[in-house]
């Protein structure tokens, strides 16, 4: 899990224009004042009075700070995180000095302490608040990661969906039986796409799903699409994150087959190496002139993330482009559900 | 439609065979209300232009995403035909183009297509001119694969990779391939923008194809440079201002 967090989580200052952030800052500062009052006075009655005395000089500083941060929020958030923190600290020192000078003329007895004490207190409060926001964003980020993975996973090209439905419609009058099979394939495909895909699937299931997907593409593209499967020697029970193969094949069709009028071959190779690693190799024709790749990169990035989520550094994805072929090569460790269950039992015993 | 009106001649263009056959079915279903005659089918823009040479059509049902020549490019070439057919774009999904079509009131059909929508679009077809060339250029997601020129009423497609250089002459741009010249009515500046990857400007009035550059040669008496293109005897002058091109070429 750790490796994924880091790739996605980036330290950043909170959004000082967000109401939730402003309320949190106000609450923290008030709580600090309550705490200060509690420490200074022994009786409950006196605490409240002391609290009011403490809050009095803090209020203008707080309001001024919130205003300044609100104004500078966008600018601050564009800086690198460390620089941003430094700038906020400088800003708070400025506010403290300003409030000290301002209050000095109105209430001289409140400001006997001298500006440096104000500065230290302001810095301490600022540090505490920024640290709180830092921890908070850390704590929330795995949830964001998960949501993002789920969202990406469920993406299938609308282009494919609507063209496939259109192809099925064309079959209904003349070849109703083929239309039935096509709709069944589509149902299976979407069942997997819409499922909760956090658990590992097996290689055999992934291959089956990809076959169903390719049946639908075959319907649309006819002789333009040729598929070569080399999966006779694959270990069927190998665990694999779901929807690793199908999106890659979808990319291969979109970028390698559809832009050509002539027939093109997609070859899919799955095998276990002597070292006990699972290899998945996908090749498709490649055209240099296409203006694509944004979607392709997103899909590849997503698959890389999920591979490392499940297998950490043991899995890898490599792409190579040669004169007219594009190749994706995935290597991952050979794990099976049975082996994992055995390990759990061993640990329990 | 009143009896006696000639049938609307329709061409179907889609790279997917099932999509073409579906469109065929739908056009047959139009029969009682609308008299329609399918004059032909094509699997991409280039096949369409060939088809129209033999078989004029009143309206083209034109898919957008196709190999070889997509619908947007094909519509641009249609502008050069003497008898331009109306165009109804069809697409399964193309958010960007659809937004532009809405904005410019260009008719389009979303696949899967409903019979009623098809009938409406076909009955409106006489009031729908071919979408303007500017709009089509703006929708083009990649450079055209061909330039088209008209000669004696015929549309000729010149594939981009056959072109050695483009040179601006008084009113026209001359296209030069290994075999011959063609005259094109487009601006060199726009061509340079569109084909920046393929061509490089060596002179105020001349773009040469990068892939056909053989070498550069110094002309001793003038002190200037000339470029030699593969498959061409002519040497083209490189202007002083564009001499940085020679350095870039040497580096590549």
Q: What is the CATH number of the domain that holds A241?
A: 3.30.565.10
Name every residue in B having a CB less than 8 A away from some CB of A.
15-19, 21-22, 25, 43-44, 65, 67-68, 92-94, 110-113, 141-142
Place of tokens 């589509």: A186
Same domain, A254 and A309: yes
Domain count, chain A: 2
Residue A151: partners with Cβ closer than 8 Å, 6 or more residues away: none
Looking at B94, B109, B139, the residue that finishes a domain is: B139
| A331 and A209 belong to one structural domain | yes
| Least confident residue range of A283-292, B20-29, B99-108, B152-161 | A283-292
Nearest CA-CA distance, residue A325 and chain B, Å? 18
**Same domain, yes or no: A278 and A232:** yes
Number of domains, chain B: 2
The answer as to whether B243 is a domain residue is yes
Asked if A287 contacts A247 with a C-beta cutoff of 8 angstroms, the reply is no
Cα A307 to the center of its chain, rounded Å? 14
Per-residue pLDDT of chain A (349 residues; tens, 9 = 90+): 333 333 445 678 888 888 888 999 999 999 999 988 888 888 887 888 888 888 888 888 899 999 999 999 888 888 888 899 999 999 999 988 888 888 877 776 666 667 788 888 889 999 999 999 888 877 766 665 665 566 555 567 788 899 999 999 999 998 999 999 999 999 999 888 887 777 788 999 999 999 999 999 999 999 999 999 999 999 999 999 888 999 899 999 999 999 888 899 999 999 999 998 999 999 999 876 554 566 677 788 888 888 887 787 788 999 999 888 999 999 999 988 888 777 767 766 6
User: Which chain B residues touch A221 with a CB distance below 8 Å?
Assistant: 16
Q: Is B133 helix (H, G, I), strand (E, B) or coil?
A: helix
Contact state of B111 with A163 under an 8 Å Cβ cutoff = yes
Residue B84 scores a pLDDT above 60: yes
- Of the candidates A165, A221, A260, which has its C-beta nearest B112's C-beta? A165
Residues A198 and A135 in one domain: no
Peptide bond into B112 cis (omega under 30): yes
CA distance A126 to A40: 22
Q: End of a domain among A95, A128, A153?
A: A153
Q: Is the pLDDT at B1 greater than 50, yes or no?
A: no
- Residue of chain A whose alpha carbon sits nearest to that of B66: A259
Alpha helices in B90-177 (DSSP H): 95-103, 115-123, 133-139
- A169/B22 touch (CB, cutoff 8 Å), yes or no: yes
Does residue B155 sit within a domain?
no
- Do B12 and B135 belong together in one domain? yes
**In a shared domain, residues A123 and A185:** no
Q: Give the pLDDT of residue A53.
A: 84
Residue A63 sits in the same domain as residue A9: yes
Domain enclosing residue A104, as ranges:
2-153
Note the pLDDT of residue A147: 58
Q: Is A211 found in the same domain as A324?
A: yes
Residue B106, pLDDT above cutoff 60 = yes
Mean pLDDT of chain B: 91
CB A250 within 8 A of CB A212: no
The distance of B110 to chain A (nearest Cα, Å) reads 9
**Which residues form the domain of B88?**
8-139
Q: Answer with the one of A153, A171, A190 that is the final residue of a domain.
A: A153
Same domain, A198 and A221: yes
A158, A219, A258: residue with CB nearest B18:
A219
By C-alpha distance, the chain B residue nearest A162 is B92
Which pLDDT belongs to residue B38?
A: 96
Alpha helices (H) along chain B: 17-29, 45-54, 71-78, 95-103, 115-123, 133-139, 188-194, 244-251
With pLDDT > 90 as the criterion, what percentage of chain B qualifies?
63
Separation of alpha carbons B165 and B181, rounded Å: 10
Widest CA span of chain A, in angstroms? Answer: 96
Parallel, antiparallel or unpaired: strands B8-13 and B36-42: parallel
**Whether residues A97 and A181 fall in one domain:** no
Answering whether pTM is above 0.90, one says no
How many angstroms separate the CA atoms of A216 and A189, rounded? 10
Mutate which of B47, B67, B146, B211 to test chain A, going by most A C-beta atoms within 10 A?
B67
CB-nearest partner of A166 from B43, B44, B111: B111
A266, A342: one domain? yes
Residues B99 and B14 in one domain: yes
Examine the domain organization and report whether A130 and A249 are in the same domain: no
Could you tell me if B177 and B162 are in contact, meaning their C-beta atoms sit under 8 angstroms apart? yes
């Amino acid at each position: 899990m750790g490796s994924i967090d880091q790739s996605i989580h980036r330290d950043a200052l909170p959004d000082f224009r967000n109401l939730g952030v402003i309320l949190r800052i106000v609450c923290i500062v008030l709580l600090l004042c309550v705490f200060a009052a509690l420490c200074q006075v022994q009786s409950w009655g006196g605490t409240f009075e002391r609290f009011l005395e403490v809050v009095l000089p803090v209020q203008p500083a707080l309001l001024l700070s919130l205003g300044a941060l609100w104004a500078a929020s966008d600018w601050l958030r564009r800086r690198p995180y460390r620089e941003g923190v430094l700038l906020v600290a400088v800003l708070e020192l400025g506010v403290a000095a300003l409030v000290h000078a301002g209050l000095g003329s109105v209430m001289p007895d409140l400001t006997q302490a001298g500006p440096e004490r104000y500065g230290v207190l302001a810095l301490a409060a600022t540090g505490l608040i920024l640290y709180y926001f830092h921890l908070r964003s850390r704590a929330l980020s795995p949830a964001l990661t998960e949501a993002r993975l789920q969202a990406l996973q469920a993406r299938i090209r609308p282009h494919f969906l609507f063209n496939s439905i259109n192809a099925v419609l064309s079959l209904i009058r003349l070849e109703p039986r083929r239309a039935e099979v096509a709709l069944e394939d589509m149902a299976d495909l979407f069942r997997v796409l819409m499922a909760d895909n956090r658990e590992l699937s097996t290689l055999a299931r992934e291959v089956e799903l990809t076959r169903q997907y390719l049946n639908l593409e075959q319907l649309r593209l006819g002789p333009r699409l040729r598929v070569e499967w080399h999966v006779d020697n694959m270990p069927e029970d190998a665990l694999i994150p779901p929807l690793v193969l199908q999106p890659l094949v979808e990319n291969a069709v979109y970028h390698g087959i559809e832009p050509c009028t002539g027939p093109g071959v997609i070859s899919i190779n799955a095998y276990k190496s002597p070292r006990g690693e699972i290899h998945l190799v996908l090749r498709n024709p490649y055209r240099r002139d296409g203006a694509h790749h944004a979607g392709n990169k997103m899909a590849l990035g997503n698959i890389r993330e999920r591979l490392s989520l499940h297998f950490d550094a043991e899995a890898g994805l490599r792409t190579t482009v040669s004169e007219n072929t594009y190749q994706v090569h995935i290597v991952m460790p050979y794990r099976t559900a049975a082996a994992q269950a055995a390990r759990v039992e061993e640990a329990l015993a | 439609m009143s009896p006696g009106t000639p049938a609307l001649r329709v061409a179907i263009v889609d790279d997917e065979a099932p999509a073409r056959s579906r469109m065929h079915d739908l056009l047959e279903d139009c029969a009682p209300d609308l008299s329609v005659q399918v004059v032909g089918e094509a699997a991409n823009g280039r096949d369409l232009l060939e088809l129209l040479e033999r078989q004029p059509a009143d309206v083209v049902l034109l898919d957008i995403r196709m190999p070889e020549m997509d619908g947007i490019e094909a519509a641009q070439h249609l502008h050069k035909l003497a008898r331009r057919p109306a165009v109804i774009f069809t697409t399964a999904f193309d958010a960007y183009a659809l937004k532009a079509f809405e904005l410019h009131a260009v008719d389009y059909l979303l696949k899967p297509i409903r019979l009623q929508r098809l009938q409406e679009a076909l009955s409106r077809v006489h009031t729908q001119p071919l979408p303007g060339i500017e709009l089509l250029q703006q929708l083009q997601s990649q450079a055209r694969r061909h330039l088209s020129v008209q000669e004696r009423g015929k549309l000729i497609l010149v594939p981009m990779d056959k072109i050695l250089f483009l040179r601006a002459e008084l009113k026209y741009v001359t296209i030069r391939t290994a075999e011959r010249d063609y005259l094109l009515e487009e601006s060199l500046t726009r061509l340079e923008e569109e084909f920046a990857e393929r061509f490089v400007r060596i002179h105020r009035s001349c773009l040469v194809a990068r892939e056909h550059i053989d070498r550069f040669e110094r002309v001793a008496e003038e002190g200037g440079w000339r470029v030699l293109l593969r498959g061409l005897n002519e040497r083209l002058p490189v202007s002083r201002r564009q001499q940085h091109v020679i350095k870039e070429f040497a580096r590549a």
